[in-house]
Amino acid sequence: MSEAAAAWLQAGLLVVLLAAAHVPLGEYLARVFTDPRHLRVERLVYRAAGVDPDADQRWSVYLRSLLAFSAVSVLVLYALLRLQDHLPLSLGRAGVPADGAWNTAVSFVTNTNWQWYSGESTMGHLVQMAGLAVQNFASAAVGLAVAIALVRGLARSRTDRVGSFWVDLVRGIGRVLLPLAFVAAVVLLVGGVVQNLAGPHEITTLAGGTQTMVGGPVASQEAIKDLGTNGGGFFNANSAHPFENPTAWTNLLEIFLLLVIPFSLPRTLGRMVGDIRQGWAITAVMGSLWAGAVWVATWAEMTGAGAVPVAAGGAMEGKEVRFGEAASALFAASTTATSTGSVNSFHDSFTGLGGGVTLLNIMLGEVTPGGVGAGLYGMLVLAVLAVFLAGLMVGRTPEYLGKKIGRHEVTLVALYVLTMPTLLLLGAALTAGIPALRDASVLNPGPHGLSEVLYAYASTANNNGSAFAGFGADTVYQNVALGLTMLAGRFVPIVLVLALAGRLAAQTPVPVGPGSLPTHRPVFVGLLAFVVVVVAGLTFFPALALGPVAEALL
């Protein structure tokens, strides 16, 4: 079988698997978050926390609960990192420095999982399990909760309530993420992913030298790393490490885990708003843009650019030979189309065009299909923008799912759209423009160096977590600045989304009339896809032209 045929086969198999999971998982998620009953173990959690699970919250109370939970999570994880050397199973690792502990605590609580460190030489097993893996569950559940709150805002009317954050959090972890991650971990364990509590030990290589190998609870963390669109690897090489991703089929499984919840959530939307067609429309936009990114990245890496890749038959620099160009490109396009950051190859070593695809995926706002929850609420915000623009063009009051889009709603949408570009471009400009910062962190000259800076701030502002590895992130300034970028990139949009959910829930539905724009038809699908691409294109085209585009043309 030719490499091109193999590439099409694995991409086709992935699509089939995602299509098979779309309806049952989407329906299950809808049942989870509309079920009036509480499980016995959930009631015990609510009683211990002093929470009334039957009391719906206003959007502002929902937000305060979310922010309080996240703030406590940052503090607890920061303490674990700083006190690591006093904890069991530390493997002799020292406590993490203050700036690094701040960056890591913020990173995992915001679902970014940006890593300035090598996991196998910095973190002990307890911190990996009780700190990082726990936040992999919690941060993903927070994003899922926000998406469900926005869907309730669209589905409900004449109310100021959008649900209970605590119920959504507990159900997201207990009924969705934990059971799915358990099954995924068992399958990965069968596939050869490591799961133990072993410390470092030396082995003798075939050449007669020695090498220190570290085991650990890898499979359990790997499962939620991908399923929760988190991305923080147990090892520095992430999913390129054979202990995390041993074979071609575990590689395909991990890509499936990245995409399965984000691509199923539109079905949940359709079920909860009472119109399945709306979910199909959102899925079509997400899927078409993801497929386009996969095709371009695969073509760029398999054809290569320059004398060496052409002679080798493809661009293999920075890629694992057990995966090859196509599987690496598929993983890269999928991990940057979600907010995952898990990688099985060095994006820094991709061709100019292939690396540009990964960067553009992040700059689109990670809505194709985006992270767990974050992708759906990001796409719904852009859908509101799309109907507003359509209303301007035809002179009609814009409506989405029976809700009028007025000045206040558009203001919230505009602030949401502007938040990420502001953080990205401001942070990148400071690093690229101040000589001391540039000399400390930008290790490559010319367009590629600019691409590295853009990628770092795009990744943190969008809570992705992957990186162009040539960027020097382990400085006090970058640890603090990137941490602030991750915080703002996560929670400012959440504030705006929940405010929008509250305003939509309070409205009286508008009946569909001759002037209503059908938001389930191909015309709207095309309009929404156009808006997604143009919003990023107009904002980032100058920066992209000076970075990856210029590099691709050299």
Per-residue model confidence as pLDDT tens digits over 217-253: 999 999 999 999 998 889 988 999 999 999 999 999 9
- The pLDDT of residue 365 is 87
467 found inside a domain: yes
Per-residue model confidence as pLDDT tens digits over 10-41: 999 999 999 999 999 999 999 999 999 999 99
Per-residue model confidence as pLDDT tens digits over 144-159: 999 999 999 999 999 9
| Count of the separate structural domains present in the chain | 1
Name which residue leads in pLDDT, 80 or 509: 80
* Angle (nearest 5°) at CA 372 between 407 and 136: 125
394 found inside a domain: yes
Per-residue model confidence as pLDDT tens digits over 176-200: 999 999 999 999 999 999 999 888 8
Does an H or E element contain 186, and which?
helix 178-190
pLDDT of 311 over the 90 cut: no
Name which residue leads in pLDDT, 313 or 285: 285
Residue 458: C-alpha distances to residues 18, 142, 255, 418, 427 (Å): 27, 21, 21, 13, 9
- The pLDDT of residue 313 is 53
62 found inside a domain: no
- The pLDDT of residue 470 is 80
CB atoms within 10 A of CB 97: 15
Q: Report DSSP letters for 446-481, one per residue.
A: HHHHHHHHHHHHHHHHTT-----TTB---SHHHHHH
- The pLDDT of residue 270 is 97
155 found inside a domain: no
Name the H helices within 274-405. 276-303, 307-312, 324-337, 352-363, 374-394
What b-and-e string marks burial along 454-463, b requiring 16 or more CB atoms within 10 Å of the CB? Answer: bbbbbbbbbb
Residue 424 burial (C-beta neighbours within 10 Å; 0-12, 13-18, 19+):
buried
240 found inside a domain: no
Q: How confident is the model at residue 306 (pLDDT cuts 50, 70, 90)?
A: low
444 found inside a domain: yes
330 found inside a domain: no
Structure tokens at 244: 């995390």
- The pLDDT of residue 209 is 81
Task: Tell me which residue range forms the domain holding 457.
Answer: 371-553
Per-residue model confidence as pLDDT tens digits over 45-66: 999 999 999 999 999 999 999 9
- Are 362 and 489 in contact by the 8 Å Cβ rule? The answer is no
pTM of the shown model:
0.95
458 found inside a domain: yes
